[in-house]
Amino acid sequence: MKIKTGRINVNLSKRKNRKGEVVYFARYQDGATKPQISLTGMNKQDAQAFVNELELKLNRPEVVAARKAGLTYEEHTKEQQRKESLKRAVIVDYLGQYLIGVERNNPKNTFKNYCIAFRCFLKFVQSRKLVYLDEVNLLHLEAYKTELAKNYKPSSIATKLYSMAGVFSQAFKVGLIEKNPFDVLSKIKIPQNEIIIFKPQEIADLFKTVYEDDFSYYVFLKVALDSAARLNELLSIVRKRDFYFEVDPDGTEYGLMSITNHHIRTKNSKNRLTPIRPDTVKLLKKYLAAFKDDDLVFNKVDRSKGTFFKQYLKKANINPSYRFHMIRKTALTRFAEAGLDILKLCEIAGHSSIEISRKYYLKTDMKAIAKGIARLSDSTSNPDQNNI
């Protein structure tokens, strides 16, 4: 196979997929084959930036030298990865590299949580004089759990361990460690009474306070409670054209909100539809009238990402330590109490598994569930049962 030893150019091309969406591709040739990289989800500007970066990588001195030695860029990359896997990974260095990827591909809040988790873990390994990733074993992780339990609640401990589990899983995949100690680490049990949601009266007081003060923020909160969407999704993803309105045969109008990946990805990169209640639809239509189809409709509602929420909690005499994320937890719990099954809840929430929905979000009230079930029609009932 003849390897091209001169400068390599990367070409950007595009075509429409089956859904009619434009998808960009990066193509280049350094051997007999022409690698094609799909850039699904990127707009033209991001795709061009990717192409420029790839072209720089293809023409680095070490890559050019590898081509002269008979290796394509792909072969050279695999060889570098193989050599890297033979080195022992220094914990602090590996976490730093991992964090760069987290920052690039996740919302700011997720990145912040990873930073906190990594800081806690580094403090622990330094106290145990652990330097390399392959030195960490199950006994160390059990001791780390015990240390965390002194200062954090079970749900917070579970979040920190989940972040570190991803790090070790990746290290195992690339051959930096022979065994992943997180595979055999016992799971954290989260008491149900630790899951905090808004009480019905608190919701009523909060929404009344906001309604009297700011119509835009009131609509924003209504949509948040109806859809159980994340704060970052509402502020940075949702556009006017992501709302759909339907009318039932009985004349009831309801809405759907599409949370999709475009310029910013959702937390787990999944697209989903969430419900909007009929009473919210009327307010939402009035609110959306001032926007164009591609406008981010809630982008300027709370630029400080939560400060307005704290202010309204104080005005409504509600615990100011509550976070906006409690709106999401409250919404999902209300769905569960109304009789919605766990699979649908997981789909609406955009969780990667039903275990996350069950463990972190659902604080169920059995009396409320019983009332929700009682409202469901039963097609198996006897038509004459009322006469019994």
377 CB burial (10 A radius; 0-12, 13-18, 19+): exposed
pLDDT at 380 (0 to 100)? 36
pLDDT at 98 (0 to 100)? 92
Domains with residue ranges and CATH for the chain: 11-85 (no CATH), 91-189 (1.10.150.130), 200-375 (1.10.443.10)
In whole angstroms, what is the distance from residue 228 CA to residue 296 CA?
A: 18
Over residues 131-155, the mean pLDDT reads: 91
More confident residue, 261 or 313: 313
Model confidence at 251, pLDDT cuts 50, 70, 90, reads confident
* Tens-digit pLDDT profile for residues 202-226: 999 999 999 999 999 999 999 999 9
Over residues 315-344, the mean pLDDT reads: 87
**Residue 294 pLDDT > 60:** yes
- Phi, psi angle pair for 42, to nearest 5°: -95, 145
Q: C-alpha distances in angstroms, 330 versus 221, 236, 335?
A: 12, 22, 9
Over residues 161-174, the mean pLDDT reads: 90
pLDDT at 345 (0 to 100)? 86
Token pair of 154 as six digits: 């079970």
In whole angstroms, what is the distance from residue 206 CA to residue 309 CA?
A: 9
Token pair of 388 as six digits: 């019994």
pLDDT at 388 (0 to 100)? 37
pLDDT at 383 (0 to 100)? 41
Asked whether 228 and 331 are in contact (CB, 8 A), the reply is yes
In whole angstroms, what is the distance from residue 219 CA to residue 286 CA?
A: 10
Q: Work out the mean pLDDT of the chain and round it to a whole number.
A: 82
Asked whether 24 and 39 are in contact (CB, 8 A), the reply is yes
Cα–Cα–Cα angle for 35, 39, 43, rounded to 5 degrees = 145
Lowest mean pLDDT among 10-19, 37-46, 343-352: 37-46
**Residue 253 pLDDT > 80:** yes
Q: What is the 3-state secondary structure (H, E, C) of 36-77?
A: EEECCCCCHHHHHHHHHHHHHHHCCHHHHHHHHCCCCHHHHH
**Residue 124 pLDDT > 90:** yes
pTM over 0.75: no
Model confidence at 118, pLDDT cuts 50, 70, 90, reads very high
Asked whether 26 and 10 are in contact (CB, 8 A), the reply is yes
Q: Please state whether 317 falls in left (phi above 0), alpha (psi between -120 and 50) or beta.
A: left
**Residue 387 pLDDT > 70:** no
Q: First CA to last CA across the chain, in angstroms? A: 87
Highest mean pLDDT among 37-46, 65-74, 238-247, 252-261: 238-247
pLDDT at 61 (0 to 100)? 87
